[in-house]
Chain A
Amino acid sequence: MVMLQTNALAEDQSVLDQTDNAVSVSNVSKNYGDVEALKNLSLDFPRGQLTSLLGPSGCGKTTLLKIIAGLLEPTEGEILVNGSPVTGPGEDRAFVFQDFALLPWASVLRNVAFGLELRGVARSEREDIAVKYIKDVGLEGFEKSFPHELSGGMRQRVGLARALSVDADVLLMDEPFSAVDEQTRRKFQEDLLALVANENKTFLFVTHSIEEAVYVSDQIAILLPRPSRVSEIIRPTGLREKDSTSIRRDPEYLDIVDSIWESLKTYVE
Chain B
Amino acid sequence: MKVFGVRLPAMSSLILWGLLWEVFGRSGYSFFVPPLSEVVATLFEIIGTSAFQKALYETAYAFCSGVFFAIVIGIPTGILMGKNRLVDELLLPWVNIFLSAPLTALVPVLMVLFGFGMKSIIITTTLFAIWIIILNARAGVMQINRSLIEMATSFGASSWDAFSKIYFWAALPEILGGVRIGIIRAVKGVIIGQLLISLVGFGALFELYSNNFLMKHFWAVLIVLFALAFTISEFLAYLERRVSYYAAKR
Look across to chain B and name the residue whose beta carbon is closest to the beta carbon of A71: B150
Which residues from B are CB-within-8-Å of A71? 150, 153-154
Asked if residues A89 and B249 are in contact (CB atoms below 8 Å), the reply is: no
Asked if residues B154 and A89 are in contact (CB atoms below 8 Å), the reply is: yes
Excluding A66-B150, A91-B156, A95-B155, 11 further A-B contacts by CB distance (< 8 Å) are: A70-B154, A89-B154, A94-B154, A104-B246, A105-B172, A105-B243, A114-B155, A115-B155, A117-B165, A146-B246, A147-B249
Look across to chain B and name the residue whose beta carbon is closest to the beta carbon of A98: B147
Q: Which of A94, A101, A146, A166 has most chain B Cβ within 10 Å?
A: A101
Q: Which residues on B are within 8 Å of A, measured CB to CB?
A: 145, 147-148, 150-157, 161, 165-166, 169, 172, 243, 245-246, 249-250
Q: Which residues on A are within 8 Å of B, measured CB to CB?
A: 66, 69-71, 89-91, 93-95, 97-99, 101, 103-105, 114-115, 117-119, 146-148, 166
Which residues from B are CB-within-8-Å of A70? 154
| Also in contact, A101 and B147, with CB within 8 A (given A118-B161, A147-B249, A148-B245) | yes
In Å, the complex CA distance between A56 and B249 comes to 29
| Also in contact, A97 and B150, with CB within 8 A (given A147-B249, A166-B155) | yes
| Also in contact, A101 and B148, with CB within 8 A (given A69-B154, A94-B154, A148-B249) | yes
Which residues from B are CB-within-8-Å of A103? 148, 165-166, 169
Asked if residues A93 and B148 are in contact (CB atoms below 8 Å), the reply is: no
Asked if residues A118 and B157 are in contact (CB atoms below 8 Å), the reply is: yes
Look across to chain A and name the residue whose beta carbon is closest to the beta carbon of B243: A105
Asked if residues B161 and A101 are in contact (CB atoms below 8 Å), the reply is: no
The smallest beta-carbon distance between A13 and chain B, in angstroms, is 31
Out of A95, A115, A118, A148, name the residue touching B150 (CB < 8 Å): A95
Out of B147, B169, B172, B250, name the residue touching A97 (CB < 8 Å): B147
The smallest beta-carbon distance between A161 and chain B, in angstroms, is 13
Asked if residues A95 and B156 are in contact (CB atoms below 8 Å), the reply is: no
The smallest beta-carbon distance between A117 and chain B, in angstroms, is 8
Which residues from A are CB-within-8-Å of B249? 104, 147-148
Look across to chain A and name the residue whose beta carbon is closest to the beta carbon of B246: A104
Look across to chain B and name the residue whose beta carbon is closest to the beta carbon of A100: B147
Out of A66, A98, A118, name the residue touching B156 (CB < 8 Å): A118
The smallest beta-carbon distance between A160 and chain B, in angstroms, is 13
The smallest beta-carbon distance between B215 and chain A, in angstroms, is 50
In Å, the complex CA distance between A69 and B153 comes to 10
Asked if residues A119 and B156 are in contact (CB atoms below 8 Å), the reply is: yes
Asked if residues A89 and B155 are in contact (CB atoms below 8 Å), the reply is: yes
In Å, the complex CA distance between A98 and B147 comes to 9
Which residues from A are CB-within-8-Å of B169? 103, 105
Asked if residues B152 and A118 are in contact (CB atoms below 8 Å), the reply is: yes
Q: Which of A91, A104, A119, A147 has most chain B Cβ within 10 Å?
A: A104
Asked if residues B250 and A104 are in contact (CB atoms below 8 Å), the reply is: yes
Which residues from A are CB-within-8-Å of B154? 69-71, 89, 93-95
In Å, the complex CA distance between A90 and B153 comes to 10
In Å, the complex CA distance between A115 and B154 comes to 9
In Å, the complex CA distance between A97 and B246 comes to 19
The smallest beta-carbon distance between A204 and chain B, in angstroms, is 13
In Å, the complex CA distance between A104 and B145 comes to 11
Asked if residues A101 and B250 are in contact (CB atoms below 8 Å), the reply is: no
The smallest beta-carbon distance between A221 and chain B, in angstroms, is 21
Out of B145, B151, B246, name the residue touching A148 (CB < 8 Å): B246
In Å, the complex CA distance between A94 and B153 comes to 11
Which residues from A are CB-within-8-Å of B156? 89-91, 118-119
Look across to chain A and name the residue whose beta carbon is closest to the beta carbon of B150: A71
Report, nearest first, the 3 A-B pairs whose CB atoms are least far apart: A104-B246, A101-B151, A101-B147
